[in-house]
């Protein structure tokens, strides 16, 4: 537990009592603010990454891709798919961060107080992401289809939602759930456990306890820890990310998920699972760093301690 009265721990007076429903609600809102806008801001990177995962020959380079898209469709084309991205990752951020705080408290303080901290972080983040993905999956399905089909499967969020439901029923919105879990759960486990460990190691290296630093310095540590975590996230989850893109763009009507994945893997091979990795490292590293910076800044604004390091 952080001593909020320690010098430099939190500059604002505590407004919310820790581990109350209000506290968890604040963390949930912080997750929305951290994830929705940040994922939307990197839509141009995500757009090109998804298209190159589905068709490696579509563009010669990322710069060439953006140049071609902008020349034909303008700035709107570069940010194509932003609406389902914003909605989906706002929901996902709410579940990811809100439920993480709930499960971390439940597992670490209530059910298994003597459990290794890293095990608590891994279990809490896996549980949180499994629930968060139920909210993300429909919007991710729409986004991927919009971004990876030419001409586009749909031109906006409403059209994409209507077409999938009309042609495949509501089940069509969840046909990528299993590979999404395969991508997002390991991703989030690495994201949270690596972040917590990185932040603790940074403070240990600095040689002074977290409470001796002001809130600006603490959020700076959150940013650095987030970038370190983001690199690991990108590498661990990339093969599943490629498969999610392929499934949503190339799965035949009535085809079982396992059959589709076997067929797709037969076409692209092991090397194909790593298409687009460099751009994803840049995207996810930067994204994760800013998410932790925004999330912890919001917690500080609420009078709460930053995450990790204690």
Give, to the nearest 10 degrees, the angle between helix 177-206 and helix 117-148. 130
Map tokens 């690596």 to a residue: 194
Residue 248, CA atoms < 13 Å, CB-side half-sphere: 32
For residue 310, what pLDDT band results from cuts at 50, 70 and 90? low
Over the stretch 267-281, which tens digit does the pLDDT of each residue have? 888 888 888 788 788
For residue 3, what pLDDT band results from cuts at 50, 70 and 90? very low
Task: Output the pLDDT for position 232.
Answer: 86
CA 73 to chain centroid, in Å, comes to: 28
Over the stretch 163-196, which tens digit does the pLDDT of each residue have? 999 999 999 999 889 889 988 998 899 999 999 9
For residue 12, what pLDDT band results from cuts at 50, 70 and 90? very low
Over the stretch 38-64, which tens digit does the pLDDT of each residue have? 999 989 988 998 888 778 788 888 889
> What is the rounded radius of gyration, in angstroms, for the C-alpha atoms of the chain?
20
Cα–Cα distance between 96 and 81 in angstroms, integer? Answer: 22
Task: Output the pLDDT for position 273.
Answer: 87
Over the stretch 143-170, which tens digit does the pLDDT of each residue have? 999 998 889 999 999 999 999 999 999 9
CATH superfamily of domain region 21-302: Mitochondrial carrier domain (1.50.40.10)
């Amino acid at each position: 537990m952080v001593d909020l009265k320690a010098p430099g721990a939190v500059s604002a007076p505590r407004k919310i009592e820790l581990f109350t429903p209000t506290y968890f609600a604040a963390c949930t809102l912080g997750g929305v603010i951290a994830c929705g806008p940040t994922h939307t801001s990197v839509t141009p990177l995500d757009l090109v990454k998804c298209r190159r995962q589905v068709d490696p020959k579509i563009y010669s380079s990322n710069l060439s891709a953006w140049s071609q898209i902008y020349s034909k469709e303008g700035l709107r084309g570069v940010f194509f798919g932003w609406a389902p991205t914003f909605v989906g990752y706002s929901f996902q951020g709410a579940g990811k961060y809100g439920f993480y705080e709930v499960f971390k408290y439940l597992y670490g303080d209530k059910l298994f107080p003597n459990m290794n901290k890293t095990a608590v972080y891994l279990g809490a983040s896996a549980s949180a992401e499994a629930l968060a993905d139920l909210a993300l999956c429909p919007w991710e399905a729409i986004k991927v289809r919009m971004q990876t089909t030419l001409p586009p499967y749909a031109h906006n969020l409403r059209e994409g939602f209507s077409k999938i439901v009309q042609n495949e029923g509501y089940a069509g919105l969840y046909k990528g759930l299993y590979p999404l879990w395969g991508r997002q759960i390991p991703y989030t486990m690495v994201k949270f456990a690596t972040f917590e460990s990185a932040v603790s190691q940074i403070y240990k290296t600095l040689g002074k306890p977290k409470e001796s630093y002001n809130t600006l310095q603490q959020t700076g540590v959150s940013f650095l820890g987030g970038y370190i975590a983001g690199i690991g996230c990108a590498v661990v989850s990339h093969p599943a990310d490629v498969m999610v893109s392929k499934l949503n763009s190339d799965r035949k009507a009535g085809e079982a998920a396992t059959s589709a994945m076997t067929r797709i893997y037969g076409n692209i091979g092991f090397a194909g699972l790593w298409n687009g990795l460099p751009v994803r490292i840049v995207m996810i590293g930067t994204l994760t760093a800013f998410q932790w910076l925004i999330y912890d800044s919001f917690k500080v604004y609420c009078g709460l301690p930053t995450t990790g390091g204690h």
